[in-house]
Amino acid sequence: MEILRGFAQTQHGNMEYRELGHGEETLVLLHPTPSSSAFFNDLLPLLNQNRRNIAITTMGYGQSDRPPKAYETLEEFAQSIIWLLDELKVKKFSLFGAHTGGQIALALASKWQDRLNKLIVEEVFNWNNPKRKAIHEAIHKYVPELADGSHLIELWDKTKDFPGLGIPPNELHHQQLFIDQLISNSTENCKDVYGDMGCEGAGPFAMCSFDTWDAVSRIKTPTLVIHGTTSELIRSQQKFLDLLQNAKVIQLPSKGNFIPQEAPDLWAKEIEYFLQ
């Protein structure tokens, strides 16, 4: 069975998605910044194929269109996910989000709980203060284009270790990350909002003005919170457990903040166990 790649027309433009599996149930997956739904190419085959597994490229990243006006809130990103799923005739679904995708998943779950069966979020945190925003402004920097093309080397090096996300990518993963990084490396129609981060900073910008704890306190959906054993963000796990009304937290072995590619089989096993 091969991964289906497609596009759906939403109110703010075309959105890219990848899909594998068939069944009555659906799992939606949201990627970190600045990647795309291609982040899940090696992970989708590990999931239950008797279910629709749909990885979505969030608006403004990968091959999804940029919105007509720069998004400033996670709720806008979440709304675009709902629009895409409406186009795909998906009414009820479970939702997984990693890093920025996890924050978007929290925003979606707090507003559209009636659409969710279960929620899984990975390496989520409350980024809503100036000091934490500065961390993302340092990571997600626009690299000005140069006539001799030397800026491409800087972008290539920038994606070599996928900053903050654990293990170095393999060659194929690195190539895709570079492509996604290159696409988002722009200031077109966004510099007034995202500043020196450029369009790559769209998700982080919204994430850093999002009140995670307020959103979490309103979520009643059964939720699994994942952090890596050596994650810098693991200190927030207990608060998630305290505020979420129906939650479980787990830690998976990591070299920094966890990404599924560090332990893909274990990651898939934990996802399936929770969904069942």
User: Tell me: the pLDDT tens digits for 107-136?
Assistant: 999 999 999 999 999 999 999 999 999 999
What mean pLDDT comes out for the span 195-209?
96
> Counting runs of H as helices and runs of E as strands, what totals does the chain give?
10, 8
Q: What's residue 162's pLDDT? A: 65
Residue 146: is its pLDDT beyond 70? Answer: yes
Percent of the chain with pLDDT over 90: 87
- Cβ atoms of residues 53 and 88 within 8 Å: no
Spell out where 21-157 has E strands.
26-30, 52-56, 93-98, 116-122
| Number of domains the chain contains | 1
Residue with tokens 């675009």: 80
CATH number for the domain harbouring residue 156: 3.40.50.1820
Tell me the per-residue pLDDT of 50-96, one tens digit each, with 9 for 90 and over: 999 999 999 999 999 999 999 999 999 999 999 999 999 999 999 99
Half-sphere exposure of 117 (CA within 13 A, CB side): 15
Q: What's residue 173's pLDDT? A: 75
**Nearest-10 crossing angle of helices 151-160, 171-184:** 130
- Which has the higher per-residue pLDDT, 36 or 172? 36
DSSP summary character for residue 232: T
Mean pLDDT of the chain: 93
- Cβ atoms of residues 32 and 98 within 8 Å: yes
What mean pLDDT comes out for the span 152-160?
86
Q: What's residue 161's pLDDT? A: 64
- Cβ atoms of residues 245 and 225 within 8 Å: no
What mean pLDDT comes out for the span 201-208?
97
Q: What's residue 172's pLDDT? A: 67
Tell me the per-residue pLDDT of 229-261, one tens digit each, with 9 for 90 and over: 999 999 999 999 999 989 999 999 998 899 998
pTM for this model (two decimals): 0.95
Q: What's residue 169's pLDDT? A: 63
Q: Lowest-confidence range among 32-46, 99-113, 151-165, 224-238?
A: 151-165
Tell me the per-residue pLDDT of 212-230, one tens digit each, with 9 for 90 and over: 999 999 999 999 999 999 9
Q: How confident is the model at residue 175 (pLDDT cuts 50, 70, 90)?
A: confident
Q: What's residue 207's pLDDT? A: 97
Cα separations in angstroms, 135 against 38, 65, 103, 180, 248: 25, 27, 16, 21, 28
Q: How confident is the model at residue 158 (pLDDT cuts 50, 70, 90)?
A: confident
Residue 163: is its pLDDT beyond 70? Answer: no
As given in the structure block, the two tokens for residue 181 are 């990084």
DSSP summary character for residue 276: -
Q: Residue 242: give the domain boundaries.
A: 4-275
Residue 164: is its pLDDT beyond 70? Answer: no
Q: What's residue 176's pLDDT? A: 86
Which of 207, 219, 231 lies closest to 58 in space, CA to CA? Answer: 207
